[in-house]
Amino acid sequence: MLENNIEKVLILDFGSQYAQLIARRVRENNVYSEIVAHTVTTEQIKKLNPKGIILSGGPASVYSKNAPRCDEEIVKLGIPILGICYGMQLGCMMLGAKVIATTTREYGRTLCIISGENRFLESLPQEITVWMSHGDIVAELPAEFESLAHTQSCPYAIVKHKEMNFYGVQFHPEVTHTPNGYQMIRNFLYKICNCSGNWKMDSFIEKSVNDITKQVGDGRVVCGLSGGVDSAVTAALINKAIGNHLSCIFVDNGLLRNFEAEEVIKTFEENFSIDLHVVSAQERFLGKLKGVFDPEKKRKIIGHEFIEIFKYEAQKLSNVKFLAQGTLYPDVIESIPAHGGPTVTIKSHHNVGGLPEELGFELVEPLRLLFKDEVRQIGEELGLPKELVGRHPFPGPGLAIRIIGEITEQRLEVLRNADKIVIEEIRKAGLYDKIAQCFAVLLPLSTVGVMGDERSYENVIAVRAVETTDFMTADWYRIPGEILGNISHRIINEVKGVNRVVYDISTKPPSTIEWE
């Protein structure tokens, strides 16, 4: 939590798939936001002193037995409240309205007619398109409420309590399918909560530098660089605070993309005076992975080796008391039980690259309150190259989980060359920043082809590109056919050992983003 002089808006989470999106929308408006469990007490809220509260949506029905509720006092504190979908129904019910299940579920884009006037609705046209997703509705409102808008099957699409500073919207203003939603959230923050907008990245850097200096004193911090955005920004921020009291360890596990290791080393050597230790451990990793086919086994081996190497290297440094980690806010939220992390292990992501407590270091996690887009902004302000800062996420086990089946030097070479072409073509087409993640996968099969007059029997490369904001759900990206054609043509012609390219058109769920 940030201290009290930074304005904040709290999001009470009732199990919404959009809670993080709401938090990000608020921050995009320069207001700091945090997600808290709906079980937060009134006392805790008072201590946090928020400028406003947003009650999130959620899958439950307010009348069902185990429906999540918050302390009723919270709604009556006088702090401005915006209830979204379930949050609206719950808030309205607590303030005397009647909620019922409808026979016509509203789902998807819906026309909403605004009939009232209010600062919450400033700069909005009279008819707006909104994204609905609900079974229940507020059916009866007591006289203390005012209705501000309706849709064909929802009499109260936007409501306001006349005295309590409570606003409710039946739809989801946080999603892009509600084009005026951003303005509505902005109105709530600036016109209703009277926020001034003091959440800015440059002041975050200043504050963070102070905090780090205070936390570490003259102790030494060690940080593992992975080549990804989060560890790079963590290192740059800590470097700004304590200079060469920071030591970085970069383990080249041989599972990185083309020239990735060289780029990381160059970036840090050229831009920062960091004490950088590069460990070339390609052979060690490939040796351990020999004959391993199972993805989870690959992950465990890579995670284990990384920890062993890191431990060994860190022990060689003197006076290390702190370990820097690039933990981001979504990881923090997901690890809180009230927010229900995944119940079954689909893939053991967070075990890979994570360092165990037994190392005995105190953690320094300067990014733990930030979302990825904020981390990118900070990276740019700190002078990291745009290309590094905007890079797609790359999994800790690297290319090992993009080579289906056994990992060999030769197969790594094929995949690296294919992946390089995919990224080059995507960049050339100006699509790189529109796609959340894009890469090549090497399949464990050979297919027949003809090259010249000869029969070939060679590898298949799959191309995967997805759009997503949270990586929990994802849609396949519609790369135009012509660009896919260029990718396929170049891979087959330039990468020795490949005679077929396929495009992955699966969504997550039920598929995952990585193939292993």
Q: Where along the sequence are the contacts to ligand XMP (CB under 6 A)?
A: 299, 347, 349, 352-353, 393, 395-397, 437, 471, 508, 512-514
* C-beta separation of 31 from 8 below 8 A: yes
Q: Which amino acid is at 20?
A: Q
Distance CA 55, CA 72 (A): 12
**For residues 76 and 508, which CB has a smaller minimum distance to ligand XMP in the complex?**
508
Q: How far is the CB of 468 from ligand XMP (least distance, A)?
A: 8
Annotated catalytic, 350?
no
50 upstream amide cis, omega within 30 of 0: no
CA triplet 477, 482, 485: central angle to 5 degrees?
90
Q: Which two tokens stand for residue 428?
A: 């050339």
340 contact partners, CB below 8 Å, separation of at least 6: 15
Q: Which two tokens stand for residue 283?
A: 């052979």
**Alpha-carbon dihedral sign for residues 249, 254, 256, 262:** positive
* C-beta separation of 213 from 205 below 8 A: no
454 contact partners, CB below 8 Å, separation of at least 6: none
Q: How far is the CB of 399 from ligand XMP (least distance, A)?
A: 11
493 contact partners, CB below 8 Å, separation of at least 6: none
**For residues 240 and 464, which CB has a smaller minimum distance to ligand XMP in the complex?**
464
Q: How far is the CB of 331 from ligand XMP (least distance, A)?
A: 11
Residues forming beta bridges with residue 476, ordered by sequence position: 466
Q: How far is the CB of 136 from ligand XMP (least distance, A)?
A: 32
Q: How far is the CB of 201 from ligand XMP (least distance, A)?
A: 23
Distance CA 236, CA 473 (A): 31
Annotated catalytic, 85?
yes
Q: How far is the CB of 419 from ligand XMP (least distance, A)?
A: 13
* C-beta separation of 401 from 294 below 8 A: no
* C-beta separation of 466 from 508 below 8 A: yes
231, 235, 236, 239: CA torsion to nearest 10? 180
Kind of pairing, strands 275-280 and 362-364? unpaired
**For residues 50 and 227, which CB has a smaller minimum distance to ligand XMP in the complex?**
227
**For residues 230 and 313, which CB has a smaller minimum distance to ligand XMP in the complex?**
230
**For residues 92 and 261, which CB has a smaller minimum distance to ligand XMP in the complex?**
261
Kind of pairing, strands 498-503 and 52-55? unpaired
**For residues 50 and 353, which CB has a smaller minimum distance to ligand XMP in the complex?**
353
Catalytic residue among 7, 174, 374, 425: 174
**For residues 25 and 402, which CB has a smaller minimum distance to ligand XMP in the complex?**
402
Q: Is residue 112 classed as helix, strand or coil in its secondary structure? A: strand
Catalytic residue among 161, 172, 374, 425: 172
Distance CA 269, CA 151 (A): 59
Q: How far is the CB of 472 from ligand XMP (least distance, A)?
A: 8
Annotated catalytic, 174?
yes
The upper half-sphere exposure of residue 361, i.e. CA atoms within 13 Å in the direction of its Cβ, equals: 26
10 Å CB burial of residue 16 (0-12, 13-18, 19+) is: buried
**For residues 245 and 347, which CB has a smaller minimum distance to ligand XMP in the complex?**
347
Catalytic residue among 70, 85, 193, 195: 85
**For residues 144 and 334, which CB has a smaller minimum distance to ligand XMP in the complex?**
334
**For residues 263 and 514, which CB has a smaller minimum distance to ligand XMP in the complex?**
514
Q: Is residue 15 classed as helix, strand or coil in its secondary structure? A: coil
Distances (CA, A) of 215 to 132, 268, 275, 322, 367: 46, 24, 20, 9, 14
Q: How far is the CB of 346 from ligand XMP (least distance, A)?
A: 6
Q: How far is the CB of 27 from ligand XMP (least distance, A)?
A: 21
Q: Is residue 75 classed as helix, strand or coil in its secondary structure? A: helix
Q: How far is the CB of 1 from ligand XMP (least distance, A)?
A: 26
**Alpha-carbon dihedral sign for residues 130, 135, 138, 139:** positive
Distance CA 204, CA 201 (A): 5
Catalytic residue numbers, as ranges: 85, 172, 174
